[in-house]
Amino acid sequence: MKVFVTGATGFVGSHVAQALAQQGADLRLLVRPTSRTENIDSLDGERVTGDLCDAELLRKAMSGCELVFHVAADYRLWAREPGEIYRSNVEGTRTVLEAAKAAGVRRVVYTIGPYKRSKFLGEQVARDAARELDVTIVNPTTPVGEQDIKPTPTGQVIVSFLRRKFPAYVDTGLNLVDVAEVARGHLAAAEKGRRGERYILGGENLTLKQILDRLSTISGLPSPRIRLPYALALATGAVDTLLRSTLLRREPRVVLDSVRMGRKKMYASSAKAERELGWNIVPVDDALRRAVEWFRTHGYA
């Protein structure tokens, strides 16, 4: 079975590509000219160099493919040019889905994480496309594990902790999920998911303090004891954004959007995926341990 994958050089996408390879899929991988490729260097598969918004290239690349996994995303909470994020996450999604339809692809599995308005708009594009194309949407919560090369904002939390740059915490929470399980969930969605439906691929609901305590147990480093009031965190983010983003045109150390997102505990239920995809919730400790080992081995901390 020939399968086209976008975002295969990234964190979640590389795990999806590896899971597909283990099942014997004939891979065709979209790679940007500037992509780091170490996550896929061990995989057999054809590489197509190009851009998410190149409609003609995508249509040709998808020719003969039965499945498309659109995992690529601009997973940033801040960009010097915000339009870049919308171009990738909204227009890129539209172009991928239109190319899949033109190429006669049987099914598309579209990945959307819980971040930024651009991905919400991209999901609306995918749901609209499901009227004419077999699209299934998967919503990983907050994946953790190895191969987080950028790293993602969540991976950066782990790196900051390992570098002892996490002196305090705020009262927030996340649903953490093993990235390897997320990859298996993608394959299950391709096999069992219903057209136009969304499936949350989640794991454990944990407060930030619980996450830091688990990282402490794994790494041997102390967990912060100071709880930062939300109002102070918000003010810090606002000032840092003004100084670094607005005046210096650099990425803020404390991204204001991340502080705003942290006001609510972003917990989730995967009950629908459990019923329809056979999804299983597993403890996230092993994924955190693998992440710590990977970041240390590869010189991030």
pLDDT in tens, 4-61: 999 999 999 999 999 999 999 999 999 999 999 999 999 999 999 999 999 999 999 9
Q: Please list the alpha-helical segments (H only) found in the chain.
A: 11-22, 55-62, 83-86, 92-103, 116-129, 153-162, 179-192, 208-219, 230-240, 256-261, 271-277, 285-297
Does residue 182 form part of some domain? yes
Does residue 277 form part of some domain? yes
Does residue 34 form part of some domain? yes
Distance of CA 296 to the CA centre of its chain: 21
Does residue 252 form part of some domain? no
The continuous run of DSSP H or E covering 5 comes out as: strand 2-6
The whole-number average pLDDT for the span 279-301 is: 97
Closest to 143 measured CA to CA, from 3, 39, 15:
15
CB 205 within 8 A of CB 268: yes
Q: How confident is the model at residue 256 (pLDDT cuts 50, 70, 90)?
A: very low
CATH number of the domain where residue 272 is located: 3.40.50.720
Q: What's the number of domains the chain is made of?
A: 1
pTM of the model: 0.88
Tell me how far apart the terminal alpha carbons of the chain are, to the nearest angstrom: 40
Q: How confident is the model at residue 80 (pLDDT cuts 50, 70, 90)?
A: low
For residue 54, the enclosing domain spans 2-144+178-202+268-282
Does residue 103 form part of some domain? yes
CB atoms within 10 A of CB 295: 22
159 vs 78, residue with greater confidence: 159
Does residue 88 form part of some domain? yes
CB 87 within 8 A of CB 56: no
Which tens digit of pLDDT belongs to each residue from 57-76? Answer: 999 999 999 999 999 986 65
Q: How confident is the model at residue 168 (pLDDT cuts 50, 70, 90)?
A: confident
Q: Examine the pLDDT at 81 and tell me if it is beyond 60.
A: no
What pLDDT sits at residue 218?
Answer: 98
Distance of CA 164 to the CA centre of its chain: 25
Closest to 219 measured CA to CA, from 274, 262, 160:
160
Does residue 222 form part of some domain? no
Tokens 């499901």 identify what position?
Answer: 130
Q: Examine the pLDDT at 84 and tell me if it is beyond 90.
A: no
Does residue 224 form part of some domain? no
